[in-house]
């Protein structure tokens, strides 16, 4: 599937997330995890592991000549639970490394940081970045709660420290800043000054 991601435009990520209700049903028919199996610990110790389908990301193809140098900020345009359902559906061909919940700032990790999530809509940016989704809608600022900002900033700060990514607006970008995208997230209601300040204070 990684060849498809590299060479062909995929369906709009926004459209895929909006179809979350259809995604959840077929996934529920998949076999249950083996009894007694322990889920792996997330890379981010304050998060929980909510794995995306392996069909929705590329396993560990990062190379030393293409290090991580970006964090991409997204907004789900759907609920937290629906976003997870989309990432877990093997036909959706979309994922992000993390999803942050609005109400309490809870962090779910869906893709390992050493793996390549399909979140940016551009293969070069997927190779170089970690994607963080935030529950909400770009035109509903009430979803951008204090606790969401704080927990997301703590997550982003940890990622930047781990990978040597500068904690500034040149390296923490919105999805709308990826070349060729038709996305607007995180939108005009996202407080970038506040967020970068919190990242550096974390």
Q: What residues are annotated to the active site? A: 133
Q: Please, are residues 104 and 23 in contact by the beta-carbon 8 Å criterion?
A: no
Q: Please, are residues 188 and 176 in contact by the beta-carbon 8 Å criterion?
A: no
Tokens of 170: 């040149």
Rounded Cα distance, 93 and 119, in Å: 9
Q: Rounded to the nearest 5 degrees, what angle is found at the Cα of 132, between the Cα atoms of 149 and 111?
A: 140
Number of other residues whose CB lies within 10 A of the CB of residue 102: 19
Handedness of CA 153, 130, 111, 60 (dihedral sign): negative
Q: Please, are residues 115 and 60 in contact by the beta-carbon 8 Å criterion?
A: yes
* SS3 (DSSP) at 99: strand
């Amino acid at each position: 599937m990684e060849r498809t991601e590299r060479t062909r435009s995929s369906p709009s990520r926004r459209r895929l997330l909006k179809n979350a209700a259809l995604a959840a049903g077929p996934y529920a028919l998949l076999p249950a995890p083996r009894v007694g199996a322990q889920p792996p610990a997330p890379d981010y110790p304050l998060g929980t592991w909510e794995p995306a389908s392996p069909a929705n990301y590329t396993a560990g193809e990062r190379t030393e000549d293409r290090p991580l140098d970006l964090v991409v900020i997204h907004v789900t345009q759907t609920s937290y639970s629906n976003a997870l359902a989309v990432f877990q559906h093997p036909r959706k061909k979309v994922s992000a490394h993390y999803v942050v919940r609005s109400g309490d700032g809870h962090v779910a990790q869906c893709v390992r940081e050493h793996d390549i999530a399909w979140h940016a809509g551009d293969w070069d940016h997927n190779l170089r970045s970690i994607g963080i989704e935030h529950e909400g809608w770009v035109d509903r600022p009430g979803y951008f709660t204090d606790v969401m900002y704080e927990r997301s900033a703590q997550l982003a700060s940890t990622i930047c420290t781990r990978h040597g990514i500068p904690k500034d607006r040149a390296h923490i970008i919105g999805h709308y800043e990826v070349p060729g995208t038709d996305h607007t997230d995180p939108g005009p209601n996202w407080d970038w000054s506040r967020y970068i300040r919190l990242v550096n204070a974390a």
